[in-house]
Amino acid sequence: MTLDDLGHDVDVPRVARRVVSLVPSITEGLAVARPDALVGATDWCTHPTDLEVARVRGTKNPDRAAIEQLRPDLVVANQEENRELDVRRLREAGVPVWVTRIETVDEALGSLRRLFDEALGWGVPDWLVAAEDAWSGPAPAARGTVVVPIWRDPWMVVGPRTFTADLLRRLGWTVSVGRWAPSAERYPHVELADVDTPDVDLVLLPDEPYVFGPDDGPEAFTSAPTRLVSGRLLTWYGPSLVEARTALDL
């Protein structure tokens, strides 16, 4: 037995040969490391773009029967991405599930190292070593305040206790949730007028989960400058971490 990130005893295989991933960014890392072992993934698992595995619906409504039929040695889940109910019912059906918990860049690197080395028995992949090296340096000088919407109508933004906020902090930015939004929430609802203010230095508009684009998002902001960015680079913890620090040099 080995403890996952939430302290749950998981009967992990010596070497996992059949893996189902319920976490899109971790799916990419698994596929890069050992594509032959990845047998199932969610409909939201879009990377690698040529991924050909059984699809088991979404992160919040996985097809548990389909997962059981794939006979996985291990199912990989995440505390934020997936429901505790689905994890519990898979375990009750005899399916081993490893749950990750990631809210910072350092937690991502450490959690993924444990996943690959201890849970899967694959050893640490080259891309993870490269990501650890990419984020080993100090944060640059403070650059300003940034707002990161993730939805509109109603507007929702990234809060401070999130992986994205920590990643941006490591790039010199401080995430803001607006003048009146409760800062304790991880992804608070806000009024547009509270985040479109002159004291916000930059608004980053990612292409997921809401698909902001040139004609859908920037036009809403009249005070704060906007920039479209890759949601994968901003919110995923996987091989994207290798390029994110350089690509997001805003």
The beta strand positions in 84-167, using DSSP E, are 97-100, 144-147, 149-151, 155-157
The beta strand positions in 143-239, using DSSP E, are 144-147, 149-151, 155-157, 173-175, 189-190, 202-206, 226-229
The secondary structure of the chain in percent helix, strand, coil, rounded to multiples of 5, reads 30, 20, 50
| pLDDT tens, the chain, 250 aa long | 799 999 999 999 999 999 999 999 999 999 999 999 999 999 999 999 999 999 999 999 999 999 999 999 999 999 999 999 999 999 999 999 999 999 999 999 999 999 999 999 999 999 999 999 999 988 888 999 999 999 999 999 999 889 999 999 999 999 998 876 666 678 999 999 999 999 999 999 999 999 999 999 999 999 989 999 999 999 999 999 999 999 987 6
Q: How far apart are CA 205 and CA 250, in angstroms?
A: 13
Q: Both tokens of residue 1?
A: 């037995």
Q: How far apart are CA 192 and CA 104, in angstroms?
A: 27
The strand pairing partners of 226, in sequence order, are 203
SS3 (DSSP) at 53: coil
pLDDT at 140: 87
pLDDT at 185: 79
pLDDT at 241: 96
| CA torsion through residues 122, 126, 127, 129, sign | positive
Q: Both tokens of residue 230?
A: 């890759």
Q: Where do the domains of the chain lie, and which CATH numbers do they carry?
A: 2-134 (3.40.50.1980), 144-247 (3.40.50.1980)
Nearest to 92 by CA among 27, 31, 199, 8: 8
Going from the C-alpha of 199 to that of each of 98, 109, 159, 203, 224, the distances in angstroms are 42, 33, 17, 11, 8
Size of the chain in residues: 250
The beta strand positions in the chain, using DSSP E, are 2-3, 9-10, 19-21, 38-41, 54-55, 74-78, 97-100, 144-147, 149-151, 155-157, 173-175, 189-190, 202-206, 226-229
The strand pairing partners of 145, in sequence order, are 174
Q: How far apart are CA 172 and CA 228, in angstroms?
A: 18
DSSP 8-class letter at 196: S
pLDDT at 138: 86
Q: Could you tell me which residues come within 8 angstroms of residue 62 by beta carbon, excluding any fewer than 6 positions away?
A: 22, 42, 56, 82, 86
Helix axes 126-134, 105-114, angle to 10 degrees: 160
